[in-house]
Amino acid sequence: MTATAIIDPVTVTPRDLHFANDGAKSNAWLDGDAVGTAVFNALSLTFPDGERLFMDAVRHYRGELSGRLAEDAKAFIAQEAIHSREHVALNGLLDRSHYPIDAIEGEIRGRIKEIRERGPIAMLSVTIALEHFTAMLADSFLSRDSVLNAAPVDVARLWRWHSMEETEHKAVAFDVFLQVTRDWTPRQRQKARNRAMAIVTVLFVRNITHYAAMLLGADGVKPMAAHVRVLWFLFGRPGLFRKSWKTYGDWYRFDFHPWNHDNRDMLNVWRERFPAEAAAARAA
Ligand SMILES: [Fe+2]
Ligand SMILES: [Fe+2]
C-alpha cells in the first residue's frame, strides 16, 4: 500500500460531552494500582496543552486544504478542543494539595513552548508523531484486554470516548502533513518523519515516566523506585507501550500511513455502543 492509498475514509465526528469522573478522585483509581493510576494521570496532564499544540499545528495550514481533508481538519480541531476541555476538568479533580500538579503543568508548558518556537512545520511534524503514539494507546484502550477494564466506569468512559475519537482522526494531521509537503521528495518527508519520531519517542517516554514518578513521589515512593515501577508498567506488565511495538515500528516504513493499521472493526464496535455510553455520561 502506498502512502496515498488510504482505505475508505472514516468519518470524524466531534461529540460534545461532559464527564463526571468522580471515580478519578481516588489516589489509586485503577483497581488499587497507584502506578497505573499515576501513568494515566500523567498522560491526562499532558493532554490540554498538547492537544492545543495539535490544533494550532493543523489550523495553521487550513488555507492549503480543500474538500474532504479541509472538513476532516475542522472536525479534528473540534474533537481536540473538546478532549482538551474534558481533560482540564479531569485534571481539576486531582488533589493539588497532595500532588505537585502545578510543577508538572509548568514543565509541560515549557516543553510545548519550545516546540512552538521551532515554527509551524516542526509543530506539525511533532503532532503527527505524537498522534501515532495516541493512536497506539487508543487502540490498546479500546481492545478486549484493555487495562481500562479495571477502571471505574465513569473514568473508563471518558478514556474510551477519547480513544474512539483519536482512532477516527488518527490520519488527519498525517494527511495534512502529506498535503503541505507535497513539493518535498519522498526522501525529505521520510527524513522529517523519522527525525520527529526519534525525538518524540525519547521525550514522550522520558516525560511521562518523569511526571508519573513525580506523582508517585507524593505518595511516598522513592524517586528511583518510582521510575522503575513506571517503566515496568509501560514496558513490562501490563506493558502499555510494549504491546504496540510493532505498530510503532511501522512508522519508519517508507510507505507508512496511519490507516495501514486498519482497526475500523474495533472502532465500529465502540461507535455502535456509543449512544448508550453518551446517555450514561449525560445522566451522571
Ligand atoms: Fe485528543
Ligand atoms: Fe488526536
The mean per-residue pLDDT over the stretch 235-263 comes to 94
**pLDDT reading at 135 higher than 60:** yes
The three-class DSSP label of residue 146 is coil
pLDDT band at 7 (very low <50, low <70, confident <90, very high): low
Question: Does residue 221 fall inside a structural domain?
Answer: yes
From ligand 2's centre to the CA of 276, what distance in Å?
23
CATH number of the domain that 111 lies in?
A: 1.10.620
Ligand closest in space to the Cα of 169: 2
Question: Does residue 48 fall inside a structural domain?
Answer: yes
Tens of pLDDT, residue by residue over 194-238, are: 999 999 999 999 999 999 999 999 999 999 999 999 999 999 999
From ligand 2's centre to the CA of 224, what distance in Å?
32
From ligand 2's centre to the CA of 31, what distance in Å?
27
Protein residues with C-beta less than 5 angstroms from the ion ligand 2: 166
**pLDDT reading at 6 higher than 60:** no
- What is the value of pTM for the model shown? 0.95
From ligand 2's centre to the CA of 87, what distance in Å?
13
Query: Is the Cβ–Cβ distance between 160 and 218 less than 8 Å?
Result: no
From ligand 1's centre to the CA of 90, what distance in Å?
14
Question: Does residue 6 fall inside a structural domain?
Answer: no
> What is the grid cell recorded at 54?
495539535
Question: Does residue 66 fall inside a structural domain?
Answer: yes
Question: Does residue 14 fall inside a structural domain?
Answer: no
Measured distance CA(161)–CA(19) in Å, rounded? 10
Question: Does residue 10 fall inside a structural domain?
Answer: no
**pLDDT reading at 2 higher than 70:** no
From ligand 1's centre to the CA of 222, what distance in Å?
32
Q: How many domains does the chain have?
A: 1
Tally of residues, the chain: 284
From ligand 2's centre to the CA of 169, what distance in Å?
7
Question: Does residue 20 fall inside a structural domain?
Answer: no
Domain range spanning residue 208? 31-283
Question: Does residue 7 fall inside a structural domain?
Answer: no
Query: Is the Cβ–Cβ distance between 105 and 38 less than 8 Å?
Result: no
Ligand closest in space to the Cα of 12: 2
